[in-house]
Structure 1
Amino acid sequence: MNAPSTPAPGGSPAEREPKSSGFAAEFKDAVTLRAFGLVLGGLLVQLAFVVSYVGAFHSPTPHRIPVAVAAPQQASAKIVAQLNALDGDPVEATAAPSTAAARQWVLTRKADAAFLFDPNGTEDTLLVASAGGPSVSQTATQIAQKIEAGQKRQITVTDIRPPNTGDGRGMTSFYLVLGWVIGGYLTATIMGMAAGARPANRQRTLIRLAVLVLYAVASGIAGAVVVGPVFDALGGHFWALSGIGTLVVLASAATALALQTLLGLAGTGLVILLFVVLGNPSSGGVYPAPLLPAFWSAIGQALPPGAGTTLVRNTVYFSGHAVTTAVWVLAAYAVGGAVLAWAASWRNEKRNLDAPSADAETPPQATPAV
């Protein structure tokens, strides 16, 4: 029998290597450059969130609220000129050929309010449709009352399309779309996280898109059930809302999948920036475009939250008028996101094929002699 070997002086290499310990070592191990970058990114998103919401909502000011003016020909041009000459351009007045036409303009979303002048008396009428945004109707009313008081006249306000009883202040459309948008990008994000560190290839991307389509259909129907049969907030439009919800969710999910496949973790941050930080305050859900600052007013209808809110409101309350742009915007995000996700996964495949394998780069190790 061979005698057991005696350990070399000083112990094994692992035993001879000094072990770092203490708070400084733990801090260095925990606060890596990547961790610092993620925390900094979170801080920037938080600040952007505050800046965007406060910037959009801190001082709602009317700007070019579309108003139809119905008056006799000799008075119409004068009233339109007076309204358009108001300081700050709070309204954008246009002469309507008749009272019926002015009313129709409000119901088809060509105007937010209609001013009906009575040439035979001192009491005029303002038609509003608060279902399209109560804050705009209230602002138009305040402007009309101020002008009429200065002219020694009175104004009667008639709301020709108020929100449903279960819709409160007409905010259900916004909250419904908000839920659809968040659900879409969260589901896409969760699917990406569940895949681990492997970059998505084309086959996997197509599978994820197919799953997202099924999820979008289920989510659209579920949302329509909640606002319809459950709470009766937007009742009577079940299948229309189901279809809109499917499109909104798919637009959000496909865009999130594309950006995450293309940019990785940074893509998730970009999705939050577009859909939450910028999309929600500019959507018109709280304050419609005529009350928002120029930047938020300009971008609102180009993002899914704004396009979705407009599509739901105008479908439920205004017989589907003025929805074409919103449909095209949502379809562009859904189709464009799917195409971009597939293209990004194809790029990932090419990168993986072009990258040299780890085995090819590592020289073979010499086999020790026995």
Structure 2
Amino acid sequence: MKQSTLSEVKSAVTPRATLLVIGVVALQLLFVVSYVGALHEPKLRDVAFGVVAPQASVEQTMQRLDELPGSPLDPRALPDEETARRQIGNRDIDGALVVRPDGTTDTLLVASGGGRTLSLALDSLTGDVLEAQGRTARMVDVAPASPRDFNGLSSFYLVVGLCVGAYLCASILAISAGARPANPARAATRLGTMVLVALAGGLGGAVIVGPVLGALPGSVWALWGMGALLIFAVGAATLAFQGLFGVIGIGLAILLIVIAGNPSAGGAFPAPMLPPFWEAIGPALPPGAGTWAARSISYFHGNAMASSLLVLSAWAVAGVVITMLAAVLRQRRAADAGSSAAEAGATEPPA
């Protein structure tokens, strides 16, 4: 009886299942560490910040801002307000203070389309600095978020939805007939299917956030292209992980895209408000690159998108190359194993 019960337990929880469960628990804890670690205490750090002031006071103003505790700002002198507005529109800086020497009310230029929380944090910080000098600031939003885009989060939610769909579709394609691609033809077919998924998902996402909900004011065509590239990049990367590591590859895709990528994407808190580690990895991962590109399309006339599109393209190309190489190597190993077995059988003496 005891032997029978032990056998039932062993058959119900196999060693492979045990390892997978341990892996899931590890991912669960990493999820908590990553999200709480990135988002529990947002602080401004080295925010690119312009200063427009008379020559006599610009150095003093910059020094005062540069010496704030915790180094929240990285101030740089600009010649005039027009330059400050242009650099904000180009996403070279996140805000600017225009000192008005003929009065006591200065102008704070911000861009809530790049993240409303960052704009509010800059307003609060500069307000405290100016208050100590008996001055105030009037906030002017030069790239305002849409009234239907609460806190500028719609770009992030769009990207998260597209990423989730991408790695789920890729996972289904890979595990429906085995966790590893059996041959290059099957791998190429899965990649081709991801192209169709990317085109359909990218168009659907762009239409939903644009014409249907009116959440993002950017070009539907541009959002479609960005979304399709994002979906394919994540899907191809997921197929690559699965081609190399089997079902464990799904966990690795979740680790990079969801656990590391989402909290570092600059969604809830833009990059300058994240801890250094998450701020550093965010732009190199698909959610961060996608969020930046979606905001650029929606609020900054498509400016400063080149690096983000290069990141997504790199993920897509690497995913395709690794997926196909894994399939080719697997096929060669299978062929070599078959040849070895045939040779062994041919050399055995007859019974």
Q: What TM bracket, shorter-length normalisation?
A: over 0.9
Preserved contact between residue 112 and residue 141 of structure 2 (Cα < 8 Å): yes
**Which residue does the alignment assign to 2:46?**
64
The counterpart of 2:173, out of the listed 191, 211, 234, is 191
In structure 1, distance between residues paired with 2:181 and 2:134: 71
- Distance, in Å, in 1 between the alignment partners of 2:205 and 2:179 is 33
Please, which of 75, 85, 99 is the counterpart of residue 67 of structure 2? 85
CA distance in 1, matches of 2:193, 2:338: 33
- Picking from 81, 100, 104, the partner of 1:122 is 104
Contact preservation (8 Å) 2:261, 2:287: yes
Partner in structure 1 of residue 224 of structure 2: 242
For residue 121 of structure 1, report the CA deviation from its aligned partner: 1.5
Using the size of structure 2 for normalisation, the TM-score is 0.95
Deviation at 1:229, TM superposition (A): 1.5
- Between the aligned partners of 2:111 and 2:206, the Cα distance in structure 1 is 23
Cα deviation, 1:86-111, whole Å, max 9, x if unaligned, reads 12110000001111111211121111
Distance change in 2, residues 1:197/1:139 (3 Å)? closer
Counterpart residue number, 2:95: 113
2:296 is matched by which residue type in structure 1? Answer: N
**Greater mean alpha carbon deviation, residues 28-37 or residues 43-52:** 28-37
Unaligned ranges ≥5, structure 2 = none
2:311: which partner in 1?
Answer: 329
Alignment pair present for 1:208 and 2:190: yes
Is 1:304 aligned to residue 286 of structure 2?
Answer: yes
Structure 1 residues 247 and 21, CA gap change in structure 2 (3 angstroms): same
| Aligned amino acid, residue 196 of structure 1 | G
- Name the SS for the 1:310 alignment partner: helix
Q: Kindly provide the amino acid, as one letter, of the partner of residue 280 in structure 1.
A: N
**1:354 matched to 2:344:** no
SS at match of 1:327: helix
Give, in whole Å, the separation in 2 of the partners of 1:235 and 1:294: 31
Q: CA deviation at 1:197?
A: 5.7
Show the counterpart of 2:211. 229
Structure 1 residue runs without a partner (length 5+): 1-18
Equivalent-residue separation in structure 2 for 1:116 and 1:312 (angstroms): 28
Shift of 1:25: 2.7
Which residue of structure 2 lines up, in the alignment, with residue 55 of structure 1? 37
Please state whether the residue corresponding to 2:107 is helix, strand or coil: strand
Deviations 1:168-193 (A, max 9, x none): 22111001011111111111110011
Residue-by-residue CA offset, 1:116-139 (whole Å, 9 max, x unaligned): 101121111111111101111111
**Matches of 1:120 and 1:262, distance apart in 2:** 66
Q: Does the 8 A contact of 1:185 with 1:256 survive in 2? A: yes
Aligned-partner Cα distance in 1 for 2:3–2:31: 40
> Would you say 1:145 and 2:121 are equivalent positions?
no
| CA distance in structure 2 between the aligned counterparts of 1:144 and 1:171, rounded to whole angstroms | 24
What is the CA deviation profile of residues 236-270 of structure 1, one whole-angstrom value per residue up to 9, with x for unaligned ones? 51111111111000100011111111111121111
Question: TM-score scaled by structure 1?
Answer: 0.90
2:109, 2:142 within 8 Å by CA — same for their partners in 1?
yes
Distance 1:35 1:74 in 2: 71
Deviation at 1:199, TM superposition (A): 3.7
Over the aligned positions, Cα root-mean-square deviation in angstroms equals 1.8
Aligned-partner Cα distance in 2 for 1:42–1:198: 20
Equivalent position amino acid for 1:32 in 2: T
The one of 282, 289, 296 aligned to 2:271: 289
Query: Cα 1:365–1:270, aligned 2, differ >3 Å: closer, same or farther?
Result: farther
- Asked if 2 retains the 8 angstrom alpha-carbon contact of 1:200 and 1:261, the reply is no
Q: How far off its partner does 1:32 sit? A: 2.0
Distance 1:198 1:287 in 2: 38
CA distance in 1, matches of 2:122, 2:3: 69
Corresponding position: 1:134 with 2:116:
yes
2:42 alignment partner AA: P
The question of whether the paired residues in 2 share the 8 Å contact of 1:52 and 1:281 is answered with yes
Question: Aligned equivalents of 1:365 and 1:136: distance in 2?
Answer: 80
**1:318 & 1:86 partners in 2: Cα distance?**
29
Change (3 A) 1:94 1:197: closer
Once the 2 structures are TM-superposed, how far is the Cα of residue 207 of structure 1 from its aligned partner? Answer: 1.2
Cα 1:273–1:56 shift into 2, 3 Å = same
Secondary structure (helix, strand or coil) at the match of 1:195 reads coil
Deviations 1:189-211 (A, max 9, x none): 10011123664311111111111
Task: Report the Cα distance in structure 2 between the residues aligned to 1:312 and 1:202, rounded to whole angstroms.
Answer: 34
Q: Is the 8 A contact 1:130 1:159 kept in 2?
A: yes
SS in 1 for 2:152: coil
Structure 1 stretch displaced more, 157-166 or 175-184: 157-166
Q: Distance in 1 between matches of 2:277 and 2:310?
A: 21
